[in-house]
């Protein structure tokens, strides 16, 4: 194991830029499947291994995916998808790969995927994903670790999550975008990444309201189109830089931050006498 020496007592100064958050970028990539035409462009995408893995899953389905690590831009064209099976050797590497199921079912009415791996935080099953998709009209069979999902057409309904689930909310929200009628998700996740995905989908032509609250409503549409979208910055990375500046009595300019997504971190900074100052802010408002 490598060893690192850290010499303290130095005041941190300068500028840093917060990059896109992985747990927000992966749903954007997965739901780009919903775009029947055009090229989805996502900016502010760091060179994460999970991004490469999910990109390879889409490529094996027939999509065109290109990533430029220098500009941190990923371009995805899902018009030519013709394979609806997510390969086990890739799916086992990351739990977020299950996010493709909702979009595949909505657009192509079929999806085959292994139970996902990549989770070391207890037993986080995908049962609520499956239950919700069944409520929307999907026929799902589980056979020796393989999920086989089919539908003659998803239909809007009401689904109550047993507890708020980040990926569950995103998966079903995406599926409902092309379902017939209106879908209401109750006890949905309120995290900023869910709000950002709703913003992305609305840009594509979806009709989603209530993201950021426990009740999300989705009015089904016939078709969605590809768009360009900037991934929101990481809350964890932003909080790290705030803390690093505070404990060294430094002064950092943290670029590309969204204070409204930091909650208690900002309140804590103010409580101990460190007041984050607002510069020019970008807008990630839900439209």
Strand 215-219, strand 207-209: pairing: antiparallel
| pTM assigned to the model | 0.87
Q: In this structure, are residues 67 and 253 in contact, taking their beta carbons and an 8 Å threshold? A: no
- Does 167 have pLDDT greater than 80? yes
Residues 6+ apart with CB under 8 A from 77: 38, 39, 40, 63, 64, 65, 226
Longest dimension (CA), the chain: 64
User: Do 157 and 76 fall into the same domain?
Assistant: yes
Mean pLDDT of the chain: 87
Q: How far is CA 261 from the centre of its chain?
A: 15
User: Do 238 and 224 fall into the same domain?
Assistant: no
User: Do 40 and 68 fall into the same domain?
Assistant: yes
Q: In this structure, are residues 162 and 188 in contact, taking their beta carbons and an 8 Å threshold? A: no
Instruction: Give the per-residue pLDDT at 213.
Output: 97
Do the domain assignments include residue 280?
A: no
- Comparing 14-23, 114-123, 182-191, 250-259, the range with the smallest average pLDDT is 114-123
- State the Cα torsion 81-58-155-182 to the nearest 10°: -120
Q: Phi first, then psi: what are they for 206, rounded to 5°?
A: -75, 165
User: Do 130 and 215 fall into the same domain?
Assistant: yes
Helix, strand, coil percent values for the chain (each to nearest 5):
35, 25, 40
User: Do 149 and 47 fall into the same domain?
Assistant: yes
- Does 193 have pLDDT greater than 80? yes
- Comparing 31-40, 55-64, 162-171, 270-279, the range with the smallest average pLDDT is 270-279
- Known catalytic membership, residue 177: no
- Does 281 have pLDDT greater than 50? no
Do the domain assignments include residue 51?
A: yes
User: Do 120 and 239 fall into the same domain?
Assistant: no
Cα 137 to Cα 67: distance, rounded to the nearest angstrom: 35
For the segment 50-106, what is each residue's pLDDT rounded down to a tens digit? 999 999 999 999 999 999 999 999 999 999 999 998 888 888 777 778 899 999 999
- Does 159 have pLDDT greater than 70? yes
Instruction: Give the per-residue pLDDT at 134.
Output: 97
Do the domain assignments include residue 13?
A: no
Pick from 179, 208, 230: which residue ends a domain? 230
Do the domain assignments include residue 257?
A: yes
For the segment 212-245, what is each residue's pLDDT rounded down to a tens digit? 999 999 999 999 999 999 999 998 888 888 878 8
For residue 244, what are the domain limits? 233-271
Find the mean pLDDT for residues 37-55.
95
User: Do 194 and 80 fall into the same domain?
Assistant: yes
Do the domain assignments include residue 279?
A: no
User: Do 238 and 166 fall into the same domain?
Assistant: no
Q: What angle do CA 150, 156, 158 make, to 5 degrees?
A: 110
Do the domain assignments include residue 15?
A: no
In total, how many domains does the chain have? 2
Instruction: Give the per-residue pLDDT at 277.
Output: 55
Strand 158-160, strand 146-150: pairing: unpaired
- Does 175 have pLDDT greater than 80? yes
User: Do 246 and 197 fall into the same domain?
Assistant: no
- Find tokens 């500028």 and name the residue: 15
Catalytic residue among 78, 119, 177, 190: 119
Structure tokens at 230: 């900037």
Cα 131 to Cα 234: distance, rounded to the nearest angstrom: 30
Instruction: Give the per-residue pLDDT at 235.
Output: 87
Cα 171 to Cα 169: distance, rounded to the nearest angstrom: 6
- Comparing 141-145, 149-153, 212-216, 261-265, the range with the smallest average pLDDT is 261-265
Cα 252 to Cα 245: distance, rounded to the nearest angstrom: 6
> Residue 146's domain is classified under what CATH number?
3.65.10.10
Find the mean pLDDT for residues 15-36.
94
Q: In this structure, are residues 74 and 65 in contact, taking their beta carbons and an 8 Å threshold? A: yes
User: Do 218 and 250 fall into the same domain?
Assistant: no
Cα 176 to Cα 20: distance, rounded to the nearest angstrom: 26
Cα 112 to Cα 110: distance, rounded to the nearest angstrom: 7
User: Do 263 and 208 fall into the same domain?
Assistant: no
First CA to last CA across the chain, in angstroms?
48
User: Do 266 and 226 fall into the same domain?
Assistant: no
């Amino acid at each position: 194991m490598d060893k690192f020496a850290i010499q303290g007592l130095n005041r941190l100064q300068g500028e840093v830029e917060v990059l896109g958050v992985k747990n927000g970028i992966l749903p954007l990539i997965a739901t780009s499947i919903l775009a029947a035409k055009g090229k989805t462009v996502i900016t502010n995408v760091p060179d994460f291994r999970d991004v490469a893995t999910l990109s390879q899953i889409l490529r094996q389905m027939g999509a065109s995916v290109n990533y430029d690590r220098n500009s941190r831009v990923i371009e995805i064209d899902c018009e030519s998808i013709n394979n609806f099976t997510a390969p086990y050797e890739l799916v086992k590497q990351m739990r977020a790969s299950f996010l493709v199921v909702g979009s595949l079912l909505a657009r192509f009415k079929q999806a085959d995927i292994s139970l996902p791996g990549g989770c070391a935080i207890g037993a986080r099953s995908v049962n609520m994903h499956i239950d919700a998709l069944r409520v929307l009209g999907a026929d799902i069979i589980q056979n020796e670790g393989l999920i086989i999902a089919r539908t003659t057409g998803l239909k809007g309904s009401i689904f109550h999550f047993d507890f708020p689930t980040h990926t569950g909310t995103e998966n079903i929200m995406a599926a409902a975008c092309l379902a017939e009628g209106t879908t209401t998700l109750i006890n949905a996740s309120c995290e900023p990444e869910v709000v950002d995905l709703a913003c992305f989908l609305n840009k594509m032509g979806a009709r989603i309201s209530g993201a950021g609250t426990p009740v999300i409503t989705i009015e089904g549409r016939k078709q969605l189109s590809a768009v360009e979208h900037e991934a929101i910055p990481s809350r964890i990375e932003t909080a790290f830089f705030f803390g690093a500046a505070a404990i060294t009595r430094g002064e950092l300019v943290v670029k590309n931050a969204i204070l409204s997504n930091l909650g208690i971190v900002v309140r804590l900074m103010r409580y101990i006498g460190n007041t984050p100052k607002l510069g020019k802010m970008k807008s990630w408002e839900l439209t």
